[in-house]
Structures are given as structure tokens and as C-alpha cells.
Amino acid sequence: MKIYKPIIILLTFAIIAIASFYLLYSPKERTTLNKNVDNLKIILSQNSTSPQDEEKTEVIVENLNIPWEIVFLSDGSMLITERAGTLKKMGNNGFEIQVPNAVSLGEGGLLGLALHPDYENNQWIYLYHTTRTNAGLRNIVERYKLSDNQLTERKVIMENIPAAQNHNGGRIKFGPDGFLYITTGDAQNSNSAQDKNSLAGKILRLKDDGSLPEDNPFGNPVYSYGHRNVQGITWDSQNNLWATEHGRSGAASGYDELNLIRKGANYGWPQIQGDQNREGMESSVINSGATNTWAPSGMAYQNGSIFFAGLRGEALYEYEIDSKELKTHLKGEFGRIRNIIVGPGNDLYILTNNTDGRGTPRGGDDKVIKINSSFFEGDEKKSLYFFKMHAMFSPSANVNLN
Ligand SMILES: [Ca+2]
């Protein structure tokens, strides 16, 4: 019997090792994270769209209905808004909530979502949505406490933002200064963009309780004006604020803009567009030109580049700040792209937008897609950067996400 003892010990260790490996990496185990969300499907295996892009992108969530914003929580789960008014949580303790009084109409509906910088302690979430009032259709920003999968303690942060079938803005984000930035559209009344007393066609800035920061330029919520329809904002590593803006539409579409936002500045709509200049007005950093349309929406900064999503352009655009070069990624591969965010482990995630009637839905649309580090292979600077970031963050990021 004595000679069997080491063999039994070895076998026991081997069984434990194999069982641990199976439990850690089994797809079945991973899908339990999503058990509370019925009509969504988290794809856990590598999922490539075409052979040349194998391993460059990975579909994380499928079957969303006109998603607009995505925010990661610290445990790796995601909050996603859908334009019809649904707030979804994917991952741990997933849920679906219908946001009260959210009205989906044209480009309006439940749009932006932001977490308070101290969300871990106060569970405050901010939502931007279209709603009906006695005065007609308006956009509103509300704060709720998200506790026990319910929205409670509603507080109105900003109301009576002009709304319309089109041009509703809708992005909300907390800036590095701790203030809440809100982007609005001209609500199809272009002259309101030049009116500093109108909330339409603006980037607004408020304190977290909706009150005015003391140093707002005009003594009201307006931070910058002369915007047609801003749907994307982000800050670079120097805390400069960047914004995307939709240019003219219709038969003569084009002149979509990437702007560097200065407090109190006028971005020209509808007086100037494209490369035009006028005293007292800011020209865009770059624009898409008279014949090209990006229809830019959400944006994110990473490693010297401003990334922004293209709806009609059906691409992910990357503007390198130092080289002033614009790169086009994923052209046509996933259809219309609504948003790009920096997620756990500093990885980039995009949100598609093919289910709103303007695009051509593909199988599984709409989706959250992770851009893997291999996406930037061949780009020496970014490959090195991703290698470093993954070395630093990957273990926890992978556990959180899967
Ligand atoms: Ca402009």
C-alpha cells in the first residue's frame, strides 16, 4: 500500500488542477453572470466578423435595441441605455428598468447616462432623455439613486431643453473639474444655437446637484454655443475638452466637425461651417468636408488620439492630436457606430447602431464590441502602449468582464 500513497496524492492534485481550470474557463460558468437579462446574450468566446479581423475585435453583448450609452461599473458589469427608454445592466445582478416618462421619438428618447464621480458611495446616476411636458416635447436630465435595481430619489438636474424629431444632443459626462457637461442639439431651430439664453445647440455645464458653477461664462448653464448637434465629448490628457458635431444634413450632407471646446466660445452654427472663418467664432479642428459625412457621435480619448464613432460614416475615426492625422478604422464592418468608450483595462469598446431604422441590422445587432489590443498591431506606438496597459491591468479586467 505504501507505494500507492504518492500516486494517490499526485492524482488528487491533478484532479483539483483540472477541475479548477474547467471552472475558471468554462463558458457555461461565465454565462451565469447574465442570468437575469432574458433577451440579451453575452458572447463569451472569440467572435470575429471576417477572417482578417480574427482576434482584433470581440462581441461582448448582442441583441440590444437602439443602444445609446454604455458605462462600466467597478465590478466589470455594464449599464446601457436604449433609446426606447430601457436602462439595462449586463453582468452581475443584471436587470432591465423602464425609465419613467422617457419618450422615444425620432432621434430622441433615453440617450445619455453618467455616473457621479463618487458613485461607489452615493449610487447616483444621471440620465438624459426626451419627455412630454405641458409645453410640448422637451429633453431633461435627471439624477436617480440606483439601489436594489431600482431608480429612486429622482431629482431634476436640468429641464426644458428644447427637443424635436431630430437634433437632440444627449451626451452627458462629468469633466475633470467635477462638473456635469451636457450636450444639446438645436432641435431643428438653427438660430437658437446663437442665442446664449437658449439651452438648444449648446454644451452646458452644471454642478452635480444642477446648480450653476460660479465661473460659467454667461451666468447661466451655457458653457459653449453655436452648436448644431453635439453627441460626443471627451477630455484629453491635458484636460482639454473635445466635441463632435453633426454638420448640415439632407441632400448636401457633410461638414461634420471635431471641435476643441473653449469656455464661452461660439462654434459658429448656423453662421459658418466647414473651413469658413469669422471674427468671434471658432473654426473646427477638422471637418469631414462638403461631400463626406461622418455623422459623429460618442467619443473617447486614449494615448494621444481622439476616437469618435461614425453613424452614417459606418466607421471608427481616430484623430491623432500630435500628427493631426485622421485615421478611419472598421469602415463598413459593423455598420453604424454610436459610441466608443474606454472600459476596464483601458480597452476600447464600441456600440453599434443598426436597429433604429436607418441602418441595416446584421445578425445579433445591436452589439457591444471590444477592440482587442491586436487591433493596433502594425501601429508601433499603440501596440507598445497596449502591451504595457495589458501587463498592468489584464488579469483583473479579464476576470471582471467574463
Ligand atoms: Ca462649427
SS (H, E, C) the chain: CCCHHHHHHHHHHHHHHHHHHHHHHCHHHHHHHHCCCCCCEECCCCCCCCHHHCCCEEEEEECCCCEEEEEECCCCCEEEEECCCEEEEECCCCEEEECCCCCCECCECEEEEEECCCHHHHCEEEEEEEEEECCEEEEEEEEEEEECCEEEEEEEEEEEEECCCCCCCCCEEECCCCCEEEECECCCCHHHHHCCCCCCCEEEEECCCCCCCCCCCCCCCEEEECCCEEEEEEECCCCCEEEEECCCCCCCCCCCEEEEECCCCECCCCCCCCCCCCCCCCCCCEECCCCCCCCEEEEEEECCEEEEEECCCCEEEEEECCCCEEEEECCCCCCCEEEEEECHHHCEEEEECCCCCCCCCCCCCCCEEEECHHHHCCCHHHHHHHHHHHHHHHHHHHHHHC
Per-residue confidence band for 377, with pLDDT thresholds at 50, 70 and 90: confident
Contact 59, 352 (CB under 8 A): no
Question: What are 301-321's pLDDT values in tens digits?
Answer: 999 999 999 999 999 999 999
| 186 Cα to the center of ligand 1, angstroms | 12
Q: How far is the CA of 183 from the centre of ligand 1 (A)?
A: 14
Q: What is the Å distance from ligand 1's center to 271 Cα?
A: 8
Q: What is the pLDDT of residue 8?
A: 77
Which three cell numbers, joined as nine digits, stand for 5? Answer: 500513497
Q: Report whether pLDDT(19) > 90.
A: no
CA of 258 to the centre of ligand 1 (A): 9
Residue extents of the structural domains in the chain:
67-352
For the domain bounded by 67-352, which CATH number is listed? 2.120.10.30
Give distance in angstroms: CA of 80 to centre of ligand 1: 30
Contact 37, 94 (CB under 8 A): yes
Q: Is the pLDDT of residue 391 over 50?
A: no
In this prediction the pTM is 0.84
Distance between CA atoms of residues 153 and 155, nearest Å: 6
**Cα of 19 from ligand 1 centre, angstroms:** 60
In contact, 336 and 314? CB cutoff 8 Å: yes
Whether 250 has a pLDDT exceeding 80, the answer reads no
- Mean confidence (pLDDT) of the chain: 87
d(CA 343, CA 40) in angstroms, rounded, equals 20
- Distance, CA 254 to ligand 1 centroid (Å)? 12
Task: With a cut of 60, say whether residue 53 has pLDDT above it.
Answer: no
Distance CA 322, CA 116 (A): 31
- pLDDT tier, 373 (very low <50, low <70, confident <90, very high otherwise): confident
pLDDT of 396 higher than 50: no
pLDDT class of 4 with cuts at 50, 70, 90: confident
